[in-house]
Amino acid sequence: MITYYKVETNLIKYLKEEREVKFYKDGGLLKKLGLQKRVYPDIYFHTGSLNEFSKRLVINSKITVVNSTILKNKIIKLLGVESDKIEVILPSYEPAIYKKKEVQKNFKEKHNIPEDKKIIYFTAKDFSKNGFVKFCNIIENLEMDNWKAVVSAYGDKEIVYANEILKHRKLSEYVIVVENEIFDVADIFVLPTTIENFAYSVLKAMANKCIVFTTTNNNAIEILDVFGIMDGPDDSNLSYKIDMLLRVEDEFKKIKKENYKIASKLTFEYQKEKLDTILAKLAL
């Protein structure tokens, strides 16, 4: 079986363990000159943007696997390929077993956060493209005060950027900047991103019993209830929604549980079963 992928995920490793896999190579000079037949992959695992190379792989591979139905539909519309040539395997994430209340208590004690305050969280590898300034706008417009914001920044560049923005906006006393992810501590995760690729952080937050908000731009909205979908990075209603949740404890707990229930179905076992079904379909 010939395959092609950009990132070696656990699912790819599983495939290699179960099957004899050859990695697709685009070919040498003879293939480029058309003097030798080009053999395309049986399965192409597509991630990222659609450049000319990936378009050619989608069109010519037997099956292309993508991580959302939204992306599948975009590819079908753009390239005109048959629907049965594109398969969807959603991302998976299984959090460590822990007691959220205990982890939150320890975190709040360490950072002198009152026990009754909810944690509103933001993290991303690229703060600019993923809407850190928009996040600041959102918390700045909150009427309730029973919250504390936490931001995880990766590397000195993002830490400096975050602190400069917070200082300029006079938000430093309301926001803590840390280096490690704190999905296990967060109550509400907000990602006002402009990036389309499925935000894995959305799934991680849901699996860690967070309320999640992200934009219509992002393919991760596929696993979110409509309440959690922002009408773009500048959604003027989001601060109102968060204020409502900070007021109504029952609704707060309900959405957390619903998100966890959705995310708990997206396990590695789910991914393996989906992949095995695709392989059986291709008789590979």
**Residues in CB range of 52: below 8 A, 6 or more apart:** none
Per-residue pLDDT, 26 = 78
Give the integer Cα–Cα distance in Å for 190 and 233: 10
pLDDT per residue as tens, the chain (284 positions): 999 998 899 999 999 999 899 999 876 533 453 545 778 999 999 998 899 999 999 999 999 999 999 999 999 999 999 999 999 999 999 999 999 999 999 999 999 999 999 999 999 999 999 999 999 999 999 999 999 999 999 888 899 999 999 999 999 999 999 999 999 999 999 999 999 999 999 999 999 999 999 999 999 999 999 999 999 999 989 999 999 999 999 999 999 999 999 999 999 999 999 999 999 988 86
pLDDT tens figures, 226-240: 999 999 999 989 999
- Cβ atoms of residues 189 and 212 within 8 Å: yes
Per-residue pLDDT, 33 = 39
Per-residue pLDDT, 36 = 52
User: Three-state SS for 120?
Assistant: strand
CATH of domain 100-263: 3.40.50.2000
Give the integer Cα–Cα distance in Å for 36 and 40: 13
Give the integer Cα–Cα distance in Å for 183 and 190: 11
Per-residue pLDDT, 30 = 36
pLDDT tens figures, 2-15: 999 988 999 999 99
Per-residue pLDDT, 108 = 97
DSSP class of residue 36 equals S
Tokens read off for 115: 């026990």
Give the HSE-up count for residue 220: Cα atoms under 13 Å, Cβ half-sphere: 28
Q: Are strands 63-66 and 86-88 parallel, antiparallel or unpaired?
A: parallel
Per-residue pLDDT, 27 = 63
Per-residue pLDDT, 25 = 83
Residues pairing with 118 in the sheet:
147
> How distant is the alpha carbon of residue 255 from its chain centre?
18
